[in-house]
A and B are shown apart, each in its own frame.
Chain A
């Protein structure tokens, strides 16, 4: 049972269909997360991380967003085939999400207590008073005095608001938590606190987590599995050890090259040259090839497929196909 996947994403494709063309945000990703495990989803802005997360909850804004194909298996059932009524029972109750921007994620005209109590009432058979009691408990759990429950979002600082958002997400003891850049909007000092809090709560409640971030340091601290996303695809997937010590995909390499290291002395960081491709106009073949320093002519023609280079370590790069092991 311990090895059973709590959630499994198979070949998920999500596009935004606009008048100016189709934005290919997520292009066939495969992921699985076991019970109690955390997965870090890493990538640049616009790589499709948030769209992936919203797809799981079926909250991609429609129009223009559309989940084109794929399966999201949760507890043996495909979420994409569920009627909306059952989906609502899962949202907030079993799967919940911490949103990216705490400044706008809270309703400005409802007290924070009510915003937490509301989700408790939605998924549990409790009275109004009990739900507010739970809201106060949740606030205290995330380090806010319980008596502030009757205050409004504008009376809280950014970090405090993020804590409230976390309290909402955890109020119903979810089985699966999606944390979408929970620390991006926060000061560095608060970042560490919030991350520590999430990990602690996650361990206490036995929740699985998908942590979306562009910060590899955060991933190293909190996650066991890592998926690196580029232009709507997962280009490298494996354990923390695989990604950090056996870095294989050129893009992942580039990511590590662009953060400062403590044990190597380099005068200049090496950023990945070029920009993220426009998702409504992706390059042919491997979508990373225009920026890749190992690219060959073949890369512009053939789309790479997932290759398992060691047990549990999957790379999507032509360099590793046909038993090449990274050598051309």
Chain B
């Protein structure tokens, strides 16, 4: 298992290099000039040339890309922000805890809610309860996030005054953004869990469990849910990744100083190193979440776990053979 994790971690490197390549190239070929933002519109041609030389923007594309990648892998240097002249690494790491907190809150809200609603609607299929919850889930999935965020703000911050409208300092500040961002994942999860549970409940082994005389709770939680979770884990992993990236909208609306806010302002001002650093960090997080998802599969499904151990067995056999030779 550890061998597998190490292998996956090593495999992340080419993925991240790919991310760097794509985002760097998009930045390079996209129209607009960061020098205008840095020096202002009235700067002279000499000033611009000097600044471009200082930032390395006058060099050929491949040299720039090579230098960037070289800096990352040798010095963990993600470049310097054009705007603040501080290392991008520090800026991203400063903002990341806020985004991580928001993502965790969204996940902690949406996973239990989504699972509960999904199980309830599946178990009481075609009941009033099922219809009501399914309707709410559909509504939640159809509502644009920014609109929901604004409505929540209007009702709970401006009219009722229960929660502050902007900022992210105290737990009271966390409530509205979490609900605004959690609605879509709850709805998606509810519908996925429902269909997955309905699929599993029809399986023969559930009938076997019934024929053993087990009670409904045991059948649902021990036999059905664990099987239904296998496809759901993928959905949860995807939700966490998109919550991390998708908090951008909420961060803008609620003025949360997270990575999303930083990324938006970087894009606006053509702050290339900052954009690249943010995207790369998100890519890294997404890769790690995917790895966790794959490991969770193995934990739940013994058939997948068997593949890991088989691979390991094969590998030990190979080394043994190599030694024998």
Contacts and interface: CB of A to CB of B under 8 A. Distances in A.
Contact residues of B: prevailing secondary structure: helix
Interface stretch (B85-93, B109-117, B208-216, B274-282): B208-216
B213 A92 contact: yes
A96 interface: yes
A104 interface: yes
Interface residues of B, number: 22
B204 A91 contact: no
Given A101-B204, A152-B302, A152-B303, A107 B213 contact: no
Interface string A76-96: 000000000001111111001
B203 interface: yes
Contact of B205 (A61, A97, A104, A152): A104
Contacts of A154: 302-303, 306
A93 B214 CA distance: 10
A108 B227 contact: yes
A165 B205 CA distance: 10
A17 to B, nearest CB: 14
Interface residues of A, number: 31
B94 interface: no
B165 to A, nearest CB: 46
B208 A91 contact: no
B213 A109 contact: no
B208 A99 contact: yes
B213 A108 contact: no
Contacts of A44: none
Interface string B174-213: 0000000000000000000000000000111101111111
Given A99-B204, A105-B204, A109-B226, A59 B210 contact: yes
Interface in A9-30: none
B212 A109 contact: no
Interface in A103-117: 104-111
Q: Which of A91, A106, A108 has the most CB of B within 10 A?
A: A108
B306 A99 contact: no
Given A104-B204, A108-B302, A168 B227 contact: no
Contacts of B204: 99, 101, 104-105
A118 B303 contact: no
B95 interface: no
Contacts of A89: 213
Nearest to B208: A105
A57 B211 contact: yes
Interface in B229-275: none
B233 to A, nearest CB: 13
Contacts of A226: none
A122 interface: yes
B212 A107 contact: no
Contacts of A155: 306
Contact of A90 (B209, B213, B300, B301): B213
Contacts of B51: none
Given A108-B303, A119-B213, 19 more contacts: A59-B210, A88-B214, A89-B213, A90-B213, A91-B213, A92-B213, A93-B213, A96-B212, A97-B211, A104-B204, A105-B205, A105-B207, A107-B205, A107-B209, A108-B301, A109-B302, A110-B222, A122-B214, A154-B302
18 contacts: A59-B207, A59-B211, A87-B213, A89-B213, A91-B212, A101-B204, A104-B203, A105-B207, A107-B227, A108-B205, A110-B222, A111-B302, A118-B214, A119-B213, A122-B214, A152-B302, A152-B303, A154-B306
